[in-house]
Every structure is written in C-alpha cells, then in structure tokens.
Structure 1
Amino acid sequence: MAAEQNIKPQETSLYEVVDLLWRRKTLILVCLAGILLPIIIANFTLPPVYESQTTIIFEQSREPIAAFDVSDAFSRKSYIVNQIEEIKARTLAEEVAHKLAPETAAEILKDQGRGLSQEGRRQLLSQRIKKGISAEPIRDSDVILIKFQGPTPASAARTVNLVAETVKERSSQVKREQASSTRKFIEVQLPAVEAGLYKAEDAIKGFKARNQVVSLSDEAREVLARMTEIDKMYAGTVTQKMALEKKLEAIYTKLEYKPDFSEGSSKMTSGAVADSLRKSLLDLQIEATQLSIKGYHPEHPQIYKLNRQIEATKNKLVEELANISRGGQAKPMPEMSDLLAQIPPLQIELISLEARELAIRDFNTGYESDLSKLPYKELELTRLLRAKDVNENIYKMLLEKYEEAKITEAGKIGNVRVIDPAKEPLSPIKPRKALNLLIGLVVGLVLGVGLSFFLDSMDNSVKTAEEIETNFGIPVLGLIPSIQSEGPRKKKRNGRDEISKIASTLVTKYTPRSPISEAYRAIRTNIQFSKIDAPLRSIVVTSAAPSEGKSTTVANLAFTTALAGAKTLLIDADLRRPVVHSLFGLEREPGMTNILAERLAPEKVIKPSGVENLDILTCGAIPPNPSELLGSQRMKELVQQLKAKYDLVLFDSPPVITVTDTAVLSNQVEGVVLVVLSHGTDRRALARAKSLLSNVNANILGSILNKIDLTGIGSSYDYYYHYHYYYYSDDGQNVKRKGRFWDILRPGGRRG
C-alpha cells in the first residue's frame, strides 16, 4: 500500500505529448474519418442551394395630398418591422406563386407535387417560397434586405425580384386605396360646400340691392379680413379632422370594429400615461395655434420650441398607444399589423386638430364681439361676405385636393423603391463544401485529440523506466524494444515448418545481431554486475500480471547467457500455465514435477535445447498443489543441486499477484527479476507485486521494461537504440541510424 501511495505524477513535456498523439494516431484517424466521411458524402449528395438578394427602400410620402396624409407621423421603426412581417407572410408568398413563371415554378418544385392538382401544386409552391424568403432591416435606415434561397441561380434571382415587385405593387395599392377614400370623402363634401357658396353669393347680392350698400368702412374691412383668415383656418382644420375620421372608419371597418367619434378623441386612449400625454399635447397645440393666429412667424423661437415639444410628445404618445393596442392580445397576422400600426398616429393627429379647433374657436369668439360693435348694415354685410369667403376657400381647397386624389388613385405611386435588383448568384451557399470540410477536420481533430488525452488520463499503466525507478524504487536492468524479428519470414520463405510463436519471440536465437538481441545482452551484463562479489547462480523471472512477456524474456535471456559461454539451465516453474516447452518444441513430460513427486534423477529429465550450454527443464505433469510442491524440502534440495551443476539457473514463474507460487519460490533463489510491460502493466499491480515479494524478503534485483515502442515519431526511448547507436545487420555490417528532426522536441534537443 505504501508503494501505491508513493506514485507521483510525471511532468509532461512537448515530446511526450507528441509521443501520446503518435501512439493514439489510429484513434485520431478513426475520429477524423468518422466526422469527415458523412460530411464528404453530404457535400456530394445534397442538392445545391443558391441565394439571391435585393434591397428596397421605404421612402417618406411624396403624395400631393399632404393635407390628408399622416404617414410621416408613423413610427418608422415599427413600420419597417411590420413591412418585414408582411414580406414573410403567407399571403405574399401565395401572390408571388400565382405570378411566377411556369418554368421558374418547375425549377423550385423539381419533381415534387406531380400527383397533385393545380391548386395543390400552387399551395406547395407558396410554401416553398415562404420557407425560402427572409428579410432583415439595414441598420439606421429605411432599407430592407430581401433574400430568397432556390435550387438554381435563375429561380433564386427571378423569385426574389418578383417578391420586391409584389411588395412595391402592394404599397401602391395601399396608396391608391387611401386616395380613393379621400376622393370619396371630397365627393360627398363638394356639393354641400358648392351649394353653401352659391347661397352666400345670392345673399350678398340681395342684401346690397335692398340696402343700397356697396362697400364697407375701413374698420369693417379690417375685422372681416381677420375673421375670414380665422374662419379659413377653422374650416381647414375641421375638414382635415373629418378626413382623418373617415380614414379611421375605413381601417376599423377592415378590422370589423365600429368607432364612436361623437366625443372626439377623448375615448380613444386609456391609461394614466396616455391620458397625461394627450392633455400635454392639447395644451401645447393650443398655445402654438394661438401664437400663429397672433401673427408669430413659424421660425419664431417660441413657435420653434413649441413645435419640437409637440413632436416629442407625439412620439411618446405613439409608443404608448401602440403598447396599449398590443397589450393582452396575441400577435396579429402580418396583413393586419399594418392596419393596426396606422391607428395610433391617426388618433394623435385627431388630438392635435381638436386642439387647433378649440384654440381657433376661442379667438373667433373674441372677434365676434368686435364685429357686433359695427353698425347694423355693415355688420350684416360683413357676416355675409365672411360666409362667402369661407365657403369659397373651402370649395377651392376641396377642388384642388379632389384632383390630386384622382391623380394618385389613377397612378402607381407608392413609397417603395427597388435599390438593387437581384442578380443570379455565381456559386451556391449550401453546401459550403470547403467550410464543411474545415469544420469537420477541426471537430475530428479536437475529438480525436480529446479522446486521446482522456484515454491517456484513464490509463494507469507503467510507461517509462524513469517512472519505475522514481515511483517504485525498482532499478531498471534493461529495455526490450518491441521490434519484430526478420527470422520467421526468412524461415517461412525457406519452407521450414517452424512454430510461428517461437520464430517471433526467440530473437536472440534467430537474429543474434539485432538491436533486440543487444538489449538482452545488456540485461545479462547488468544482472551479472548487480552482485560482483558473489555471482548470482539462481534467478526467478516473473511479472506482476499475466501476458507481460516474462516467458519470452526469460527464454531470450537464457539464450544470451548460454551464447556468452555460461552453462545455463532454464526451468519452467509455472506449474499452472507452462509455455517453455512450446517455445523450444519439447514435450512437457517428464519435467520438474516428476522429479519432485516421483524422485526421478534430474539428469534423466533435463532436455537439451539444441543450443550449446543451454538445457531445459520443462514443467512436467501439472500438479493439483503447485504452491506446496514449490515450497517443499525436495524443491529446496533440487535448487541447490542444480546450482552446483550450472553457472546460472533461470526460473520462469507465474505472475506474482495471481498466485502465491512465485512468492514461495522467490525466497529459495538468490534474486528476482520483474518483467514490466510498457503501456500494459498497471501501476497498482506493480506496486502490489513489489509488496508481496518484499513480504517474503525476496531479493528484487530489478526490472525489465518490455515491448517499448521504438517505431513511432514520439518514442520515449528512440535514442537508446537509434540515436548515435550502432546496430548490426544479419550480414555483420555496421549501420548507423541518423537522428530525426522530431528529436529536437525532446528535452535537451538533439544529443551527441
């Protein structure tokens, strides 16, 4: 447990990061392929989508009937928002679908809707058009950008241009309807005003004939001039008020609502804020009208200040009325929102006109008292002339507006103008192949690298020799590279029927001059010098867990020792899963268990390996009690007997943490060597193995780090065998492997 607690985290260098990524390259490539493959398939299978765009501007009203037009009082921001909603409305899409050329409609629908009726195809087409239309305002302007996405460049351009033209036609139609409403109102008023004018003229003529009065005195003319001007202002105000009421009636009729104008605009608002703003607007408008009647110029500072206050109050009241109109209601249909947006500014204009009417009426009362002071005949003539002038002015104004309304109604004047007609796009916007591939590449790399680091953080295996020495306090006797021998392939080509496992593991036999054979020779030397005074005669080679390479390691170590001239005996002490006999192609029985159980002579059981100075003692029959057999007195005597006959006795024993066999055997020999699988042996298993061996006072000589990777660009031990390292080919030629460019990533840069 103490060994487990002493495990310390290792600092990570850039070279180790490269090593990690190289080891996980397969995972990274799989992640890249998993992300990129669907993207590539989608890029080549999805139909292209083309987008074309046009810009339109909603200009302020240029109508000649300004006296009856209050469009400037609209909130431009809400007006643009309403127009955008109308552009995206279903009714506009249906109108565009109805106008669209058959060939363009066929391009948009493609092969869909073949079995539908003409009406069904039109509905499907309008749905496609509605789905493909988008509109957005250009900031700080009255310009709207309209886009349409279609399957071909031509269909996208034609459709979006037709959308702009339809919006333009709709705007003209609204203007024509407004002009028609004004014309109808004037047509109703003209006969009455004309009759009043004729009546006034006849009254003047009869009065002059009866009373022999031809002209007025100077005083009477002055009073008449002032009153006529006031009456003219009053009549114009009343006429505008009536026109606005007619407009509101027309809007309410479309909204199926009946207004009551009998009490003016006082019932058109609700809420404390709206009522307060309405009262402020009335007061300001009355004050401005009184100053105008008194003869103040429109540019006078007082008039200018009042007009600015009036405009600010109107804007606030527009917002408040719009909020009241929207409160508690569901979002209206786009075709209704434009009508609703017209109501607040018209109501505010009514408030202003009421204020003007009230102010003019007050002034008129004062002039009536001045008029009553005139002589009777002059008074009557003045009143008749005043009535005639007022009717004449009203009649002229109505005639002028009537003609202007007829011109507007007959024309195609609207407040929408196309700025940039759409052109056919040169390339599709979907699929964006390069961007999709780039995103896929980034996502695949991030996913692969992320999984690599995640899996590495979850990997609790031993990876480096430094880790073994630092964290576990076990000396590293040597490193065994994971390099495949060329021996097996040569023997197969020569037609020899060798066991492939033997050929791939006993590299010291088949390729004695290879780097891996040199590694075993280095391990043999390190073991010899681990105890100089009394050379080691018996060693157990084991591992913490199964499948870590202990059997192949001890076999190759036995070969190396024998080739050095030392008389060596390799004993298969793994009485549960013996493999040594398979490595050398020998029969398992008789073996060591036969010596122990049947008391056979060792020399009758020991088999030659075919290599000079190397003998093999196989396992023998697998006993039911391996631990008791290995711990028996007979086993101790056998070890001493074999040590006397051989220079070195090597034992292949079971893994330490799985069974107690190795712990029992380890205190009968002079040393134990632990085989550690690089990136395979769990740290906790190694710590447990050391603890179990220490508990029986085993002499742990050191460890062998097996199967380290020397082939990758980030190999941590590449420099041990390839960097300024001479290794031998099978023909005996010296070969020097050059350092590689990624070695500069290793701490310390290039070496040698």
Structure 2
Amino acid sequence: MEEEIFWLKGCIKQNSIRITKEGRIKNMNAEEISLRELIEILIKQKKLIILITVASILVAGIVSFFILDPVYESRMVLMASQFSDKLQSTQIQGEGVDSILNSLSRYPTMTLETYRQQITAPRVMRETIAELKLEEEYDIASLAKAITLETIKDTNLITVKMQHSDPEMAAKIVSKVGEKFVAFVSDKAKEHASSSSSHINTQLETELIKLEEASNELKEFLSQPRGVSELEQELAAKLTQITTYKTNLTDLQIKQQSLKASIQVAETEAKGSNRIILKNQSDGEDNLSIDKLQLMIEDSATLLKIELAAVTSDIANIKEQVNILQKQIEELQVELQEKKHEARIIEKKVEIAQNTYDAFVKKYEELRVAESSQIGESTITVISKAYPATKPVGPRKAMNLAIATVLGVMIGVFAAFFIEYWKTSGNEAKRYQGENL
C-alpha cells in the first residue's frame, strides 16, 4: 500500500514538472512572437517612419533657416557696491536722541536680490519705453519679461540680458535700462533722504523753540537777586568772619585764664603793694613843681580785675556774634542749596534742549548731503556696457534639426504601430462577424 502511494506521488510530481515546463515554453514562444511582431511591424512600416522623419527634418530646416529671424543677444554687467551698508552702519551708531534719529532716517538695506528685483521696476520700464519710443512693440509687462537678469554666484555682479532681432535695438534697450536703473536708485535714495530731512526740519523748529524757552528761563533765574554766586560770596564772607571771631574768642579765653591766674597771685602775695609813682614831667629844670608831676596810683589787683571784666565782656559779645553768624550761615546754606538745585534743573533743561537741537541739526545736515549726493552712481557701477552683437544666438538650427529628427522618429513609430493595430483589429472584427453568421 505504501509503495502504491509513493508511486502516485511520483507520477503527480512528474506531471506537474511537465506542465510547468510546457507553460514556460509557451510563455517564451509568446514573448518571442510578440517581439518578432513588433520588429516586423517596424520593418514593414519603415518607409512611413523614414518619410515622417524626413518631413519633420525638412519642416524644422525650413522654419529655422528661412522663416525664423535671427535673434541677437546684448548684455550689460552691473556691480552693486556696499555704499548703502556703510551708510546704514554709520547711522546705527549713537544713543538716546541720536539712536532715535538714526532709526527714523536709516537708509533701507539693499541686498543683491533687492537690486535685481528693482531693475525691472515699472518706472524703469516705463521710462525706457518712452525714451526709445517702443510703445508699439512693448508694454511694461512684456519688456520686463523680455529682459533676463542673472546674478553671478559669490559675487555682487548682476547681468542684464535681452534678445532681439535687431542687435542695435537690443544694445540700446539694455543700456537704457541700466541707465534708468541707476537713476532710479539715486532718486529713491534722494526721496528717502528728502522725506526724512523734511520731517527732521519740522521737528528742528520745535526743538529750537524749546531751547529758546529753556535759555530764557535760565536768564530770568540768573537775573534774580541773591543768586547762586552772590549767596556763595556772602557765605564765604560769613565763614571768614566767623572764623575770625572764633580765633579771637580763643585768644580772649586764653587771656581770660591768664588774668584769673594773675589776679589770684596779686591778691595773695601783693597785699599792701600800693605805691605812689612820681614821674618827672619837667623840661629839664632842677626844681620839681606839683603841676609838673603826675601822681599815678596803681592797684595791681584792681587793674587786673578791670581788664578781666573787659575780656569777659568781649568773650560774651563774640559768642553772641558767633551764634548769630552760625544761624545766618545755616540759613544761607539752605538758601544756597535750594538755589543750586533750581539752577541745576534749569541748566539741565538747557543742556538737554541744546543737545537735542544739535543732534537734529547734525542729522539734518547729513540728510542734506545724502539728498544732494549721487547714491545711485555710488552703489551701482557699470562693469561692462551693452554693445550690438555680431553673431546671432538664435534660432539654434542644429538643435532644432536634432529635436525634429527625434520627434519624427517617435511620430513615425507611433503611426506605424497605430496603422498595424487598426488593420489587425479590423480583420479580427470581420472574422468574428463571419463566424457569427
């Protein structure tokens, strides 16, 4: 039983292998037949393919050599400098009012791409068309489309190109576009500077009025009585006077102590020391007379006490004067500080007004210089002018013929397959109808 089962499995396996091989053979035959049929169709319709290809080449040749006008290309190379960047960097510097003014009058950043986009600006195109009288041939959009702009990598160069059937006209248009573009950049910079200077000039008048008001306030303050300088002089005089008083007071206090000590000595040791002093006041006569003698009685203790009383009185008077002067000095110092504070406020107003006015004047002068300068010529330099071309750049006849050849072959092959398909499908349809009948 097992042997029979094994034999059946072997038979089935052989049959499946045989069927697989037969299928592969049929597929290979079908592929060979399909490729063969395609090649036969191409060989069969080779005349048609050659005819269509030759016709395409002839049409392309006639159009390229006899119908299309030669096209000439003219170009101009411009170089964008960094003048606007330098102008902007100088305007960025500054603080306070200068920083605000710089932000108001700052020239916009001009990159290479910005310049490239501005070359075909409507104003540039309009002026070019008007001056060259191109109204019948171009409008603003068509002229902008006819101009080709290229930027050279890693440089600040811009190439302006244009193709035209007339080489002289192409050179004129490109040159005029470059000329008008330089003028356009200058005018835009001047308009910006003029607008900023007009605004700053208006504000300048306001700042001048503020400066005059602050100056008048300072003059009025300085013309008032008992000003800062007067109070300073008066305070200096008072300080000198009180210093003198204090010096005298110190001397008197020392003298007072000395007199007190002298009185004590005179009272304890010189009791009964009263004496009569006879002083000869004669004119050299030998005999003394009473009217010519001056009797002087001196009591040492009494004299010292009298002198001490005078010194004590002087000390009291000086102390009183010192107290009075001290109060006057304190009042003067308070008044002087108030005056100085008021003067500082007014002087600060004048200083701020003066600095603001000076900043506006400086910025106004800078904008006037920028307004009168040729920024366009400084930022855009013509490296290579546009000249009429001597050799046409189009039509490209060889390329047109090559393209026509490829297209002719493709169209011929498509036509051959289409015709063969049409015939084959028609025959099969007739055969099918005959079998049904």
Of the candidates 363, 377, 389, which is equivalent to residue 339 of structure 2? 377
Query: Does the alignment pair 1:401 with 2:437?
Result: no
- Matching residue of 1:11: 32
Instruction: Please report how far the alpha carbon of residue 431 of structure 1 lies from its aligned counterpart in structure 2 after TM superposition.
Output: 1.5
- Matching residue of 2:227: 212
- Matching residue of 1:36: 57
Of the candidates 71, 81, 93, which is equivalent to residue 49 of structure 1? 71
Structure number with greater CO (CA < 8 Å, separation at least 6) is 2
Instruction: Please report how far the alpha carbon of residue 441 of structure 1 lies from its aligned counterpart in structure 2 after TM superposition.
Output: 0.5
Distance 1:13 1:192, change over 3 A: closer
Distance 1:10 1:171, change over 3 A: closer
- Matching residue of 1:189: 203
Instruction: Please report how far the alpha carbon of residue 20 of structure 1 lies from its aligned counterpart in structure 2 after TM superposition.
Output: 4.1
Look up the SS of the partner of 2:407 in the other structure.
helix
Asked if 1 retains the 8 angstrom alpha-carbon contact of 2:74 and 2:388, the reply is yes
- Matching residue of 2:87: 63
- Matching residue of 1:155: 169
2:348 aligned partner, one-letter code? R
Q: After superposition, where does 1:170-569 map in structure 2 within 5 Å?
A: 170-210=184-224, 211-214=226-229, 375-414=337-376, 415-418=379-382, 421-425=385-389, 427-460=391-424
Look up the SS of the partner of 1:185 in the other structure.
helix
Q: Deviations over 1:407-464 (max 9, x none)?
A: 1111211354556544544543432211111110000011112222333444549xxx
C-alpha distance in 1 between matches for 2:432 and 2:193: 96
1:440 aligned partner, one-letter code? A
C-alpha distance in 2 between matches for 1:18 and 1:216: 123
- Matching residue of 1:96: 128
C-alpha distance in 1 between matches for 2:230 and 2:358: 24
Q: Deviations over 1:622-642 (max 9, x none)?
A: xxxxxxxxxxxxxxxxxxxxx
Query: Does the alignment pair 1:80 with 2:114?
Result: yes
Asked if 2 retains the 8 angstrom alpha-carbon contact of 1:179 and 1:409, the reply is yes
C-alpha distance in 2 between matches for 1:686 and 1:186: 97
- Matching residue of 1:491: none
Asked if 2 retains the 8 angstrom alpha-carbon contact of 1:216 and 1:378, the reply is no
C-alpha distance in 1 between matches for 2:365 and 2:219: 30
Instruction: Please report how far the alpha carbon of residue 177 of structure 1 lies from its aligned counterpart in structure 2 after TM superposition.
Output: 1.2
For structure 2, list consecutive stretches of 5 or more residues without a partner in the other structure: 1-25, 92-101, 233-335
2:407 aligned partner, one-letter code? V
2:87 aligned partner, one-letter code? E
Structure 1 residue runs of 4+, over 6 Å off? 13-16, 136-143, 682-689
C-alpha distance in 2 between matches for 1:35 and 1:216: 112
1:93 aligned partner, one-letter code? M
Give the % identical residues. 28
1:35 aligned partner, one-letter code? S
Distance 1:89 1:36, change over 3 A: farther
Which structure has the greater CA radius of gyration?
A: 2
Look up the SS of the partner of 1:124 in the other structure.
coil
Distance 1:161 1:216, change over 3 A: farther
Instruction: Please report how far the alpha carbon of residue 16 of structure 1 lies from its aligned counterpart in structure 2 after TM superposition.
Output: 7.0
Structure with the largest fraction of helix: 2
C-alpha distance in 1 between matches for 2:433 and 2:137: 74
Distance 1:12 1:140, change over 3 A: farther
C-alpha distance in 2 between matches for 1:61 and 1:216: 56
C-alpha distance in 2 between matches for 1:12 and 1:154: 63
Distance 1:10 1:204, change over 3 A: closer
Instruction: Please report how far the alpha carbon of residue 402 of structure 1 lies from its aligned counterpart in structure 2 after TM superposition.
Output: 1.7
Instruction: Please report how far the alpha carbon of residue 202 of structure 1 lies from its aligned counterpart in structure 2 after TM superposition.
Output: 4.2
Distance 1:176 1:168, change over 3 A: same
C-alpha distance in 2 between matches for 1:427 and 1:13: 52
C-alpha distance in 1 between matches for 2:174 and 2:231: 69
Distance 1:61 1:98, change over 3 A: farther
Look up the SS of the partner of 2:417 in the other structure.
helix
Asked if 2 retains the 8 angstrom alpha-carbon contact of 1:54 and 1:161, the reply is yes
Distance 1:14 1:459, change over 3 A: same
Q: After superposition, where does 1:584-595 map in structure 2 within 5 Å?
A: none
Distance 1:17 1:95, change over 3 A: same
Q: After superposition, where does 1:118-157 map in structure 2 within 5 Å?
A: 122-127=134-139, 129-130=143-144, 132-135=146-149, 145-157=159-171
For structure 1, list consecutive stretches of 5 or more residues without a partner in the other structure: 1-5, 101-120, 218-373, 462-681, 692-752
Q: Deviations over 1:689-722 (max 9, x none)?
A: 9x9xxxxxxxxxxxxxxxxxxxxxxxxxxxxxxx
Instruction: Give the TM-score taking structure 2 as reference length.
Output: 0.53
C-alpha distance in 1 between matches for 2:130 and 2:407: 45
Give the total of aligned pairs. 285
Distance 1:216 1:396, change over 3 A: farther
Q: Deviations over 1:16-37 (max 9, x none)?
A: 7665434322101221133222
Q: Deviations over 1:328-352 (max 9, x none)?
A: xxxxxxxxxxxxxxxxxxxxxxxxx
Asked if 2 retains the 8 angstrom alpha-carbon contact of 1:97 and 1:125, the reply is no
C-alpha distance in 2 between matches for 1:138 and 1:216: 76
Asked if 2 retains the 8 angstrom alpha-carbon contact of 1:134 and 1:146, the reply is yes
Instruction: Please report how far the alpha carbon of residue 14 of structure 1 lies from its aligned counterpart in structure 2 after TM superposition.
Output: 7.7
Asked if 2 retains the 8 angstrom alpha-carbon contact of 1:88 and 1:134, the reply is no
- Matching residue of 2:182: 168
1:437 aligned partner, one-letter code? L
What do you get for the CA RMSD once the two structures are aligned? 4.3
Asked if 2 retains the 8 angstrom alpha-carbon contact of 1:190 and 1:398, the reply is yes
Distance 1:378 1:456, change over 3 A: same
Q: Deviations over 1:81-111 (max 9, x none)?
A: 9x63x544554323113333xxxxxxxxxxx
C-alpha distance in 1 between matches for 2:381 and 2:356: 35
Instruction: Please report how far the alpha carbon of residue 58 of structure 1 lies from its aligned counterpart in structure 2 after TM superposition.
Output: 8.1
